[in-house]
Amino acid sequence: MNAYLNSLLLASNPILEVVLPIVCAVVGIVLGFIVAKVFFDKIRAAKIGSVQDVITKMREDAEQECKALKKEAALEAKEQEIKLRHDFERETKEKRNELQKIEQRLDQRDEILTKKESNNLKKSEELDQQKRELEKKVLSLKEKQEKIDKEYESVIAKLEEISGLTKEEAKKQLTDSIVEEARHDVAVQVRNLEQEAKDEANKKAKDIISLAIQKCCTDHASEITVSVVPLPNDDMKARIIGREGRNIRTLENATGIELIIDDTPEVVILSGFDPVRREVARLSLEKLISDGRIHPARIEETVEKVKKELDVQIKEAGESAMFEVGLFGIHPELIKLLGRLKFRTSYGQNVLQHSLEVAHLAGLMAAELGVDVNLAKRGGLLHDIGKAVDFEVEGTHIQIGVDLAKKYKESKNVVNCIQAHHGDVEPKCIEAVLVQAADAISGARPGARRETNTNYIKRLEQLENISSGFAGVEKAFAIQAGREVRVVVKPEQIDDSQALFLAKDIAKKIESELEYPGQIKVNVIREWRCVEYAK
């Protein structure tokens, strides 16, 4: 019925059709909100209750922990208090003991001081007594001194009367005699000291030189550069000469060496001043002989090949010499020139071996003296570097060596070692003196240089003639293989002082007129004999 009525109302009123659903929806939303609020309030109340329970429990736990921490802190405080009290009592006891010891020391010191004071009183009394006694002795001594002075004056007066001299004159004579004696003693002492210094210096120098010679072991046999090429047979001479001499001319033009082919069987002699070119010619000729093909084109090809091979050998020889001595930093061109010295000889002595020996000797002596070893070795190795090109450049080997050293930026001391090794200039450093000495040792030792018998005998005769040519010389003898000349003078014409000057004059004349290796000792002997016969 109601439904029917409602349908009638809806049908009769269209507005109600629109409003009624809206009202129902609003009522539903309000009811839902109220129900949700009631539900959420219950949930919130439940959550608040649980949070309060948690907070209450946490508060109780915190209170229990605080109580436990308070108990632990109280226990630690009590323990710390007990420990501090124990430490305080211990320190107090130690300080009390120290104070007692100090008091004991002070008591002992007081006792010692009281004893010292009593002793000092006694000593002061004794000193006063001694002072009084000394004053009495001083008075007595003064009286005695006055008496002695009076007696001394009387004695002096008597001495003046007897001697006829005053006191000042006698004092002057005595002073002069004492001064004269002192001068004589000083002169004798100075002469003895000078002689001792000379003897000690000679001994030290001989020790250093002998030690250096002993350490430096070298071959004593002199080397001779071979300039003779052997041939398998005499027919090879014609092949070497070639048709109309074209082969020999080509070889001479290519090497710059003259080939001498004479009647000597199975031998070709090479003649030339340049040792390197002579070596090139020798090696080229040996290769051509072994190969058998001898014609101008082959000769030129072989000579060029040998030159390249020899350049390599020269460089290797120079580097080997440098490494043997232990030097580095030498200019490559100087190393090549060192290698060229392998084919150069002087008095039959190989110049490269001589330079190595001089470098070793100079280095050993420098080590003994505590000077620059490397500088001494460098100067010794390069001292004859000018002999590598003295056939190509004008001038002495010393000047050529100096120019080469300056050109390739060697130091001033090395240049001085080269310049002074024959005594042409004064040495400016110790190493230059050592190089000079080492050069003399290397050239003067037995077997180092060869000399023909004719030249040897001629040199000895010249030595004796030079020495005999001076006035007052009776006889002159060359001994020690020309290393020493003994000159016997006439004692009635030459005294001791003149004998010294005579030895110097003979030495200077030998230096200016003779050429010789090493040095020559001039020994002037003056002997005075008094003869009488008993009848």
Q: What are the pLDDT digits (tens) for 155-192?
A: 777 777 776 667 677 777 778 777 777 777 776 777 77
Q: In the chain, how many domains are there?
A: 3
Residue 348 sits in a domain of what CATH number? 1.10.3210
| 178 domain-assigned | no
Q: How many residues are recorded in the chain?
A: 535
DSSP letter string, 440-473: HHHHHSTTSS---HHHHHHHHHHHHHHHHTSTTE
Q: Encoding tokens for residue 470?
A: 């001076």
Residues 384 and 457 in one domain: no
**What CA–CA distance (Å, rounded) separates 186 from 524?**
30
Last-in-domain residue among 416, 444, 472: 444
Quick one: pLDDT at residue 221? 39
State whether residue 475 is helix, strand or coil: strand
Quick one: pLDDT at residue 210? 58
Q: Calculate the alpha carbon distances from 50 to 40, 55, 61, 415 in Å.
A: 15, 9, 17, 110
Quick one: pLDDT at residue 224? 45
Residues 405 and 481 in one domain: no
State whether residue 434 is helix, strand or coil: helix
State whether residue 194 is helix, strand or coil: helix
Quick one: pLDDT at residue 251? 85
**What CA–CA distance (Å, rounded) separates 308 from 306?**
5
**Residue 418 CA neighbour count, 13 Å, CB half:** 24
Q: Which amino acid is at 435?
A: V
Residues 145 and 47 in one domain: yes
Query: 268: burial class by Cβ within 10 Å (0-12, 13-18, 19+)?
Result: buried
Q: Which amino acid is at 243?
A: R
With cut-offs at 50, 70 and 90, classify the pLDDT of residue 10. Answer: very low
**What CA–CA distance (Å, rounded) separates 42 from 49?**
11
The answer to whether the beta carbons of residues 413 and 432 sit under 8 Å apart is yes
| 351 domain-assigned | yes
Residues 439 and 457 in one domain: no
Residues 390 and 474 in one domain: no
Residues 458 and 440 in one domain: no
Q: Give the tens place of pLDDT for each residue, 239-271.
A: 888 888 888 888 888 888 888 887 778 788 887
Residues 319 and 464 in one domain: no
**What CA–CA distance (Å, rounded) separates 73 from 235?**
129
Quick one: pLDDT at residue 12? 46
- Among 8-22, 103-117, 357-371, the range scoring the smallest mean pLDDT is 8-22
Quick one: pLDDT at residue 229? 81
Residues 248 and 305 in one domain: yes
349 vs 268: which has the higher pLDDT:
268
> Please, what's the b/e burial string for 193-209 (b: 16 or more CB within 10 A of its CB; e: otherwise)?
eeeeeeeeeeeeeeebb
Quick one: pLDDT at residue 4? 46
Last-in-domain residue among 119, 136, 161: 161
Residues 303 and 421 in one domain: yes
**What CA–CA distance (Å, rounded) separates 301 from 316?**
23
Q: What is the DSSP letter of 253?
A: H
Instruction: Please give the angle made by the CA atoms of 512, 345 and 448, to the nearest 5 degrees.
Output: 75
Residue ranges making up the domain that contains 323: 228-444
Q: Encoding tokens for residue 9?
A: 């109302």
Residues 345 and 263 in one domain: yes
| 482 domain-assigned | yes
Residues 151 and 271 in one domain: no
Quick one: pLDDT at residue 118? 79
Quick one: pLDDT at residue 259? 81
| 531 domain-assigned | no
**Residue 47 CA neighbour count, 13 Å, CB half:** 6
Residue 495 sits in a domain of what CATH number? 3.30.300.30
Of the candidates 235, 152, 258, 215, which has an alpha carbon nearest to the alpha carbon of residue 438? 215
Residues 469 and 320 in one domain: no
Average pLDDT over the chain reads: 80
Last-in-domain residue among 444, 474, 503: 444
Question: Angle 296-325/275-291 helices, nearest 10 degrees?
Answer: 130
Is the sign of the CA dihedral 289, 295, 296, 302 positive or negative?
negative
Quick one: pLDDT at residue 9? 47
